[in-house]
Amino acid sequence: MRDRPTGPESEDNPTGAPERQPQPERRRWPREAAVRAPPRPAGPPALSPMRFSTRGLPPAEQFQAWRAHMAPLFEVRLPDSVPPQDGFVADQTAWHLGNLLIVQQHVPGHSYLRPQAMLRASPIDHWYVELLRSGMSWTEVDRGVAENGPGRLVFRSLGYPFRGRTTAADAVLLFMPYELFADDAAVLGGSNNAVLSGNLADLLINFINGIEPSLDRLTAEELPRIVHTVRDMVVACVASAARPEAAGPQTNTGMMERAHRYIHLNLHSADLTPDAICRAIGISRTRLYQLFEASGGVLNYIRRRRLQQAHGALSDPADSRPIAEIAEAAGFDVAANFTRAFSHEFGVSPREVRKAAAPERPVAPLAPTGRHRGSTIGDWLKALGC
């Protein structure tokens, strides 16, 4: 009997290829299966939107309704070739995140104006970002025009006069209070009406696109994180787009931002006077008065900011201070004077605001911190950041 071959051509290995030996495990520690943490239970939705539309009105009344709705922000006008009888179908949805107001809107073509007279009568000096989904807009500030189009961003202040026009457009507007950017006033002050572009602007647009579908599901715990993320991304975008020639501290805009920052940091100080502001930022009283002329004067600006702070305190169910104490903190020694000034500014008395914010009268779902913020876009903008 012939011996069975055992070489490379044996029947067990007819191809003649050398057999592969198993490789030893070279890891120092054995591989462990990844363990996923269980998802955290989501809290209840924190936001309830405010919606406004002219669709249900007769065409001849639609533009006037939109004009009245936007009066706290702009004067709006139809193009010369468009009569009011043709109609003006506009839709707007607003979401109040405490220190951020997100407004989604569709509007036909029109022009808009925020004149100095409106600044004197309005305490609103927020920053805002405009993101267009469709349409075009052109806005003039200090003889400089910013053109905006689909997929682009413009950064602008409500504390300065401007005018412009827009075609029919879908837009998302992000309004943020001045206080949110107080530490970056020097950077932002030179970038009013700036077009934001580049990789950082694209990231901000993607972030906005990402949170929009989730606005009706966000929880109270998530809101501050979203606000801070948007704030940091806006600062990064503006810093990268800052115009070097506008960044000097001696420009009117830069000087105004320094004055704003000093006022906001010392708002409740009894020593907050025009003289103190002048010494702190190194300008004359005449220059200071010129800077705040559009706001009705520096003392008027301080008074209105203090009234806004008082409104925020009265709207907070957790603030149990007597109204008289809140009035004193706002610089009013006589409660009756505080009530008159407050009622003139907000159209309601301090007592009515506190009653509306009482915890036994919640509105479901709760707005951030459960505060009563009013029922119009003007009310929400005045309460922004309070």
Sheet holding 75-77, edge to edge: 75-77, 110-114, 162-166, 137-141, 144-148
Segment among 94-103, 167-176, 359-368 with least mean pLDDT = 359-368
pTM above 0.75, yes or no: no
Q: Is the pLDDT reported for residue 119 higher than 90?
A: no
pLDDT (0 to 100) of residue 364: 33
More reliable by pLDDT, 21 or 106: 106
Tokens of 25: 């495990």
Nearest to 284, CA basis, from 248, 250, 245: 250
What stretch(es) of the chain map to CATH 1.10.10.60?
252-314+318-356
What stretch(es) of the chain map to CATH 2.60.120.10?
50-246
Per the listing, tokens 């709006």 go with 76
In this predicted model, what pLDDT tens digit does every residue of 39-88 receive, in sequence order? 555 678 889 999 999 999 999 999 999 999 999 899 999 999 999 999 99
**Average pLDDT score over the chain:** 83
CATH of 252-314+318-356, picked from 1.20.1050.90, 1.10.10.60, 3.40.50.300, 2.40.40.20, is 1.10.10.60
b (16+ CB within 10 A) / e for 101-120: bbbbbbbbbbbbebeeebbe
Segment among 131-135, 189-193, 231-235, 357-361 with least mean pLDDT = 357-361
Burial of 247 (0-12, 13-18, 19+ CB in 10 A): middle
Tokens of 193: 């009406």
What are the two backbone dihedrals, phi and then psi, of residue 210, each rounded to the nearest 5 degrees? -75, -35
Say how far apart CA 52 and CA 63 lie, in whole Å. Answer: 13
Fold for 50-246, please state it: Jelly Rolls (2.60.120)
